[in-house]
């Protein structure tokens, strides 16, 4: 057990749950889809997520939250459950900012190609829900990043991506409205390459 100082200056106790987390993640990854359903796997992970959050074990918490999202996206290809799980995890009471940041950054890679900050959209195949699923994920990520200063660059990239999606769908007015939502302060803090 160790202590950290929280935002209010008080000491927070931290319990290391890395061993328990590794064991849980290995057992879930080694089971077959027939043995353990998505809902059962998520239930186990969400129980452990709460335990990690209350124990103030941020590294284990990041691993568990990412595992939840990866299960939905990569293993079971369940887009609706992915969106619900993402919103639940990001909206948890006293959720750590580094956890929210890690989840958002992981999900951004599923919709945007990492090319040094540009905004090229990833093509989502039908297995992952198609283009409609990509737009829903971009909107959900924008909602999560709203008002979070530590994610303003990601929000700006997601806003640009949503504008491109609207433009591709032929809705130029909606694309322009989306772009007007970017705050001047955010635009000014981006690198020149990202502004283009």
DSSP code per residue over 32-70 = -TTTS-HHHHHHHHHHHHHHHHHTT-HHHHHHHHHHHHH
Domain end, chosen from 71, 95, 119, is at: 95
14/83: higher pLDDT: 83
Residues 80 and 128 in one domain: no
Residue 11 CA to its chain's centroid (Å): 28
Ranked by mean pLDDT, the top range of 3-12, 48-57, 124-133 is 48-57
Range of the domain at 135: 104-196
pLDDT of residue 128: 66
Last residue of a domain, one of 95, 125, 152: 95
Taking the model in full, what pTM does it have?
A: 0.82
Same domain? For 81 and 124 the reply is: no
Per-residue pLDDT of 48-82, as tens digits, reads 999 999 999 999 999 999 999 999 999 889 999 99
Clarify whether residues 122 and 170 are in a common domain: yes
* Structural domains of the chain, count: 2
- Cβ-contact 155, 108 below 8 angstroms: no
Domain stops at, among 36, 68, 95:
95
Asked if residue 119 and residue 68 are part of one domain, the reply reads: no
Residues 70 and 3 grouped into a single domain: yes
């Amino acid at each position: 057990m160790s202590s950290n100082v929280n935002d209010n200056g008080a000491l927070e106790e931290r319990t290391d749950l890395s061993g328990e987390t590794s064991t849980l993640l290995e057992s879930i990854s080694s089971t077959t889809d027939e043995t353990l359903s998505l809902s059962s796997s998520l239930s186990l992970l969400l129980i452990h997520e709460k335990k990690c959050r209350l124990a103030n074990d941020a590294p284990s918490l990041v691993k568990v939250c990412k595992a939840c999202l990866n299960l939905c996206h990569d293993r079971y290809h369940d887009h609706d459950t992915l969106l619900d799980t993402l919103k639940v995890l990001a909206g948890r009471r006293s959720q750590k900012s580094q956890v929210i940041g890690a989840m958002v950054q992981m999900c951004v890679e599923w919709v945007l190609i990492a090319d040094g900050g540009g905004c090229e959209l990833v093509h989502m195949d039908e297995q992952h829900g198609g283009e409609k699923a990509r737009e829903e994920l971009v909107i959900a990520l924008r909602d999560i990043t709203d008002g979070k200063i530590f994610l303003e660059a990601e929000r700006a990239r997601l806003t640009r991506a949503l504008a491109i999606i609207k433009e591709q769908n032929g809705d130029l007015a909606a694309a322009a409205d989306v772009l007007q939502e970017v705050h001047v302060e955010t635009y000014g803090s981006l690198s020149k390459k990202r502004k283009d």
